[in-house]
């Protein structure tokens, strides 16, 4: 199993977390009179692929500062704190760590933090300045094939988001077995990769995602996402890559120069 380690300096300004690839040794538990050195893994906070004011006026800079800079950062920092105590959860890519800590439906304590870190990384990529409109090329054809029309898909996505009880996420996924697109909702931090779904798009339906800009008007938040924020470019690229690749791929091109640590699509079968 490939080991990818990220070190991040959490004291750096929000917009420029410094990530590097190296190993960190710490003194582990005492084994009798002998000190044991343990290698631990750390995961870094990735920046969204746009400036924090890049989604205004539909998602404010203040909302991004809190949502990404505080909430998302908190999930990553809490995960790293947990991993410092683990000699077992080492060397996983983040998608592997999500699946491993899901533990077949009996989540380990680390699951919520790693899944929420993953989900938020994906959420920032699911939006872009000047987003909205309609998908193009292959994704539009696949949506029309699997939902009947783009209008049907949109209605299904919105209905699913607004019918989610409590906190969670709504997703457009490619079902690995059926090779069909589907809209699914998940509670709390659950990510469809634990059920072998391949995420194409997601929308954060936790209250913290919309309250600053939309208070309790979830319908307006979802509408703004669909009309002005959703990145069909990213989703289209992702689906095409899913279909074309015969090997494990990573969706981290925007990271520019980073190694592909966050791999989450294994194979389109
Ligand atoms: Fe969130």
The Å distance, Cα 76 to ligand 1 centre, comes to 12
The Å distance, Cα 63 to ligand 1 centre, comes to 10
* CATH number of the domain within which 125 lies: 3.55.40.20
The Å distance, Cα 38 to ligand 1 centre, comes to 32
Contact assessment for residue 240 and residue 137, using Cβ atoms and an 8 Å cutoff: yes
The Å distance, Cα 124 to ligand 1 centre, comes to 10
Helix 111-125 vs helix 73-83: crossing angle, to nearest 10: 150
Identify the burial level of 33 via C-beta atoms within 10 angstroms of its C-beta, where 0-12 means exposed, 13-18 middle and 19 or more buried: exposed
Query: Which residue bears the tokens 């991040």?
Result: 8
The Å distance, Cα 61 to ligand 1 centre, comes to 15
The Å distance, Cα 71 to ligand 1 centre, comes to 7
Contact assessment for residue 68 and residue 124, using Cβ atoms and an 8 Å cutoff: yes
Supply the range of the domain harboring residue 135: 61-244
CA 219 to chain centre: 22
pLDDT in tens, 212-266: 999 999 999 999 999 999 999 999 988 888 776 533 444 433 232 223 333 333 3
For the whole prediction, is pTM greater than 0.85?
no
The C-alpha atoms of residue 75 and residue 159 are separated, in whole angstroms, by 28
The C-alpha atoms of residue 116 and residue 221 are separated, in whole angstroms, by 20
The Å distance, Cα 9 to ligand 1 centre, comes to 22
| Assigned domain for 34 exists | no
- Residues lining ion ligand 1 (Cβ < 5 A) are 204, 206, 209
Question: CA distances (Å), 78 to each of 32, 45, 89, 90, 189, in order?
Answer: 30, 12, 14, 16, 14
The Å distance, Cα 143 to ligand 1 centre, comes to 26
Proportion of the chain above pLDDT 90, given as a percent: 63
The Å distance, Cα 62 to ligand 1 centre, comes to 14
Helix 111-125 vs helix 94-102: crossing angle, to nearest 10: 140
The Å distance, Cα 168 to ligand 1 centre, comes to 9
| Assigned domain for 87 exists | yes
Mean pLDDT calculated for residue range 194-205? 93
pLDDT in tens, 65-122: 999 999 999 999 999 999 988 878 888 889 899 999 999 999 999 999 999 999 999 9
The Å distance, Cα 245 to ligand 1 centre, comes to 30
| Assigned domain for 269 exists | no
The Å distance, Cα 215 to ligand 1 centre, comes to 15
- What is the predicted pLDDT for the residue at 188? 96
The Å distance, Cα 64 to ligand 1 centre, comes to 10
Contact assessment for residue 46 and residue 14, using Cβ atoms and an 8 Å cutoff: no
Number of domains in the chain: 1
Helix 137-147 vs helix 232-244: crossing angle, to nearest 10: 80
Residue with the larger pLDDT of the pair 39 and 201: 201
């Amino acid at each position: 199993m490939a080991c990818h380690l990220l070190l991040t300096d959490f004291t750096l300004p929000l917009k420029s977390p410094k990530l590097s690839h190296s190993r960190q040794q710490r003194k582990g538990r005492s084994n009798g009179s002998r000190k044991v050195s343990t290698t631990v893994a750390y995961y870094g906070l990735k920046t969204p692929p746009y400036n924090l004011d890049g989604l205004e006026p539909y998602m404010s800079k203040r909302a991004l500062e809190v949502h990404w800079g505080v909430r998302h950062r908190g999930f990553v920092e809490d995960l790293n704190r947990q991993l410092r105590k683990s000699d077992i959860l080492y060397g996983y890519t983040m998608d592997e760590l999500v699946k491993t800590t899901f533990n077949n439906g009996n989540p380990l304590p680390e699951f919520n933090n790693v899944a929420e870190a993953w989900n938020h990384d994906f959420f920032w990529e699911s939006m872009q300045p000047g987003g909205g409109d309609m998908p193009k090329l292959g994704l539009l054809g696949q949506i029309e094939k699997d939902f009947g029309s783009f209008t049907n898909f949109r209605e299904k996505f919105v209905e699913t988001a607004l019918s989610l009880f409590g906190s969670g996420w709504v997703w457009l996924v490619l079902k690995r077995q059926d090779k069909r697109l589907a809209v699914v909702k998940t509670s709390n931090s659950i990510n469809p990769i634990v059920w072998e779904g391949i995420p194409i798009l997601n929308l954060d339906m936790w209250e913290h995602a919309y309250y600053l800009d939309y208070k309790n008007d979830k319908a307006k938040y979802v509408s703004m996402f669909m009309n002005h924020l959703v990145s069909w470019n990213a989703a289209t690229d992702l689906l095409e890559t899913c279909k074309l690749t015969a090997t494990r791929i990573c969706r981290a091109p925007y990271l520019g120069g980073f190694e592909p640590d966050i791999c989450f699509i294994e194979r389109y079968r």
